[in-house]
Amino acid sequence: MDTARPKRSARFYAVCIGVGLLAGLMSGLFGVGGGTVIVPLLVLALGFDQRFAAGTSLAAIVPTASVGVITYAVDGHVAWIPALILAVGAVGGAQIGTWLLPKLSQTALRWSFVAFLVIVIVSLYFVIPSRDAELELTWITGPGLLVLGVITGILAGLLGVGGGIIVVPALLLLFGTSDLIARGTSLLMMIPTAISGTVGNLRRSNVDLVAAACVGIAACTTTALGASLAKLVDPFVGNVLFSVFLVFIATQMAVKAVRGRHQR
């Protein structure tokens, strides 16, 4: 069997739907794209290779993030212009990241990112976001958002991580934004970024559109639930849950770093 394109079967569709349901819940709850859930599960459960799984995940994020944005926007928890600024920076940064990819040590980058996540995880227990805090554009925050977008794009290009695990904590800790606005804005930023990446992946035949459609459609059914749960959860509890999610991501990244070192 081709590991990049698994055989279509009942199990294939069942796994895609299950992955989508879980990814959608995580996306709505934490304001992330869900790729950190989709990619490893497609690799482990269906035998996708890493790049093919990443390309498929990116395509699935488009409908998932769209539903999440609508859910957050209904209650005014999306900062539209800041999200656009972030997206512009992220699209440009992704090009830089892919250019740097062959020039830098992946192992060193992964350990650096793990260290970054550890700092964020600890900080989340000391900074409790206010639900009333807005993300206002000023001469300082505007350029700051653009820089954040570029950094997000670079890391996405280098490590294949989604923007949410960078943007959400940055908006919380550096910009003092409400946790709900941070999540809604993060999801909106992902849509043009994911579309841009998917177009490139389609040109390189690096996406399984059937799997992406199954995952994406399934995710749409639980994204709104995740977003609704996020609104009900106390901000501190939300921080705790998000920190647990980041521990999962950091562990994944550390395992990849260790494996990468052993394979050298």
In this model, does residue 52 exceed pLDDT 90? no
Whether 189 shows a pLDDT value over 60: the answer reads: yes
- Model pTM score: 0.85
Would you say 32 and 165 are in contact if contact means Cβ atoms under 8 Å apart? yes
No. of helices (H) and no. of strands (E), the chain: 10, 0
From residue 71, give the alpha-carbon distance in Å to each of 60, 183, 224: 18, 11, 6
Average pLDDT, the chain: 87
As given in the structure block, the two tokens for residue 237 are 């509890």
What pLDDT is stored for residue 229 in this prediction?
A: 93
173-184 in b/e burial notation, b at 16+ Cβ within 10 A? bebbbbbbbbbb
Lowest mean pLDDT across 13-27, 38-52, 150-164: 150-164
pLDDT at 252 over 90: no
Q: What is the pLDDT of residue 163?
A: 80
Residue 189 vs residues 87, 126, 192: alpha-carbon distances, Å: 5, 26, 7
Phi, psi of 133 (to 5 degrees): -75, 130
pLDDT value for 43: 84
Residue with tokens 């995710």: 219
Cα–Cα distance, 39 to 134 (Å, whole number): 33
Domain spans of the chain, in order of start? 10-263
Q: Rounded to whole angstroms, how far apart are CA atoms 53 and 58?
A: 9
- 33 contacts 164 by C-beta, under 8 angstroms: yes
CA distance 61 to 162: 10
